[in-house]
Amino acid sequence: MIKADHIVYKHKEFRILDEVSVSLEKSEFLAIVGPNGAGKSSLLSVLANEVRQGKQNILFKDKQISEWDVRELSLHKSKFSQHNSNEIPLQVKDVVMMGRYPYFESQPRQEDHEAMNKMMYETDIYHLKDRDYNTLSGGEKQRVHLSRVMAQLDNAIDHKLVFLDEPLNNLDVKHQYKALEIIRKFTHQENSAIVVLHDLNLAAQFADKILLMKSGKVAAYGTPEKVFTAENISDAYNFPCTICEHPVNANPMIIFG
C-alpha cells in the first residue's frame, strides 16, 4: 500500500525526521505515537505528500507518491489535519460535502449526497446538518471534519488510505470509540489507515501496528505487544510505566506512574 524509506525532514539544520522508514499493507491500522515534538504530525504530512523536501522515497501503490496526479490521488487517499479552521461560514452539511469536491464540477450528484449523509449518520452529526458550523462545540466540529475526510473516500476504488492527525481531540469517550470504530471498519474493507494518537491504550486496542517515535526517530515499530513494553515506553516518554494485560481484550494496558 505505502512504503517510505529513510525519510529525512529538516528545518534549517534541525532534523525533525531522521531516517524514518515505515510500511503499511492493505487492511492495516497503523497508530503513530510518541511524546510531544517527536515528529508524528510531520511524518504524517510527509507521507501524505503535503510536505516535500528534497527527494523522498515514498511509494504509494507501487508509484512514487510525488508522481501522482493531485486530483487522481484525492480519490485514493485523504487526510484529517490536526488544525482545522474554527471559522467556516457554512452549514454542517456543506462542510462535509467539501469532501466530495473531487467528484463533481458544479453540483453534487445523488451519490455525493448519499456519501455525505452516510458519514454524518456514522459520526452522529446528522441532526446537526443544517446548523451553522461556527455554532458547534469543538468536539462536534471534530466529527464534522471526520465525516468530510471519510466521505471523500466513499468510492469503488480498491485499497484506499486515510491519514488522521489526532482525530480524537475534543471528543468525549463515546465519540472517541465511535471514531476509532469507523476507522477500523474502513480498514476491514481492505483499506488502510495511519493515525496519530496520544492515548496509548486506545492505540493498543484498535491498531494492528504501532510506530513509536522519539526525537524524530523510530523508537520501536511492530505489533502493540512488541512495541508497548515498559522499557520502550519509559524510554520514549521519560516517565515510568507498568504494562499489564487488559482484563477484557488481553491487549497491553499501560499504566503510568
Q: Measured between alpha carbons, how far is 11 from 32 in angstroms, rounded to an integer?
A: 21
CA–centroid distance for 191 within its chain: 13
Q: Measured between alpha carbons, how far is 152 from 248 in angstroms, rounded to an integer?
A: 34
The pLDDT > 90 percentage for the chain reads 88
Q: Which of these ranges, 69-73, 213-217, 247-251, has the smallest mean pLDDT?
A: 247-251
Amino acid at 123: T
C-alpha cell, 114 = 448519499
Whether the CB-CB separation of 182 and 15 falls below 8 Å is answered with: no
**Average pLDDT over the chain, rounded to an integer:** 94
Amino acid at 58: I
- Beta bridge partners, 220, equal 212
CATH 3.30.460.10 for domain 2-256 = no
Span 82-91, pLDDT tens digits: 777 777 899 9
Span 77-120, pLDDT tens digits: 999 997 777 778 999 999 999 999 999 988 999 999 999 999 99
Q: Measured between alpha carbons, how far is 144 from 138 in angstroms, rounded to an integer?
A: 10
Span 123-133, pLDDT tens digits: 999 999 999 99
- pLDDT at residue 54 greater than cutoff 70: no
Q: Measured between alpha carbons, how far is 160 from 78 in angstroms, rounded to an integer?
A: 9
Q: Domain segments of the chain: what residues?
A: 2-256
